């Protein structure tokens, strides 16, 4: 496992297609922004573990949708990261 230290708004790249940015630090939580092509699944580990426990690994439904959460919010390049959450900018 590679362990990195990043500060607020610092970025790291995974390969050529995935960009991870630290967008917020709050107490003991870190909020990450992830930009990846749609064909690369980005899923929280606890959701994968939950799906493994359900035992239906052949279900083609994306995990978030199968759990009733709807599709994940993606930020298109050039748009505010807050726009994906229904906010045009941070300074509202």
Kindly give the residue spans of alpha helices, DSSP state H, lying in the chain. Answer: 45-54, 63-66
Residue 57 falls inside a structural domain: yes
Q: How far is CA 26 from CA 15, 29, 31, 45, in A?
A: 28, 5, 8, 21
Residue 23 lies in a domain: yes
Which tens digits make up the pLDDT trace of 13-33?
Answer: 999 999 999 999 999 999 999
Q: What's the pLDDT score for residue 49?
A: 81
Residue 71 CA to residue 10 CA, distance in Å, equals 26
Residue 2 covered by a domain: no
Extract the residue ranges of the chain whose pLDDT is less than 70.
Answer: 55-92
Domain annotation covers residue 91: no
In terms of pTM, does the model score above 0.75? no
Residue 90 within any structural domain of the chain: no
Residue 25: per-residue pLDDT: 95
Give the total number of structural domains in the chain. Answer: 1
Please give the Cα distance from 32 to 75 (Å, whole number). 12
According to the model, what pLDDT value does residue 52 have? 73
pLDDT number for residue 48: 83
Q: Is residue 89 part of a domain?
A: no
What's the domain range around 71? 11-80
Q: Is residue 22 in a domain?
A: yes
Is position 5 within any domain? Answer: no
């Amino acid at each position: 496992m590679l362990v990195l230290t990043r500060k607020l708004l610092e970025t790291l790249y995974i390969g050529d297609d995935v960009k991870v940015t630290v967008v917020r630090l709050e107490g003991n939580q870190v909020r990450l922004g992830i930009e990846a092509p749609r064909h690369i699944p980005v899923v929280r580990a606890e959701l994968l573990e939950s799906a493994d426990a359900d035992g239906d690994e052949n279900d083609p439904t994306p995990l978030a949708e199968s759990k009733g959460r709807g599709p994940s919010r993606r930020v298109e390049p050039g748009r505010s990261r807050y726009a994906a959450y229904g906010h045009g900018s941070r300074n509202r």
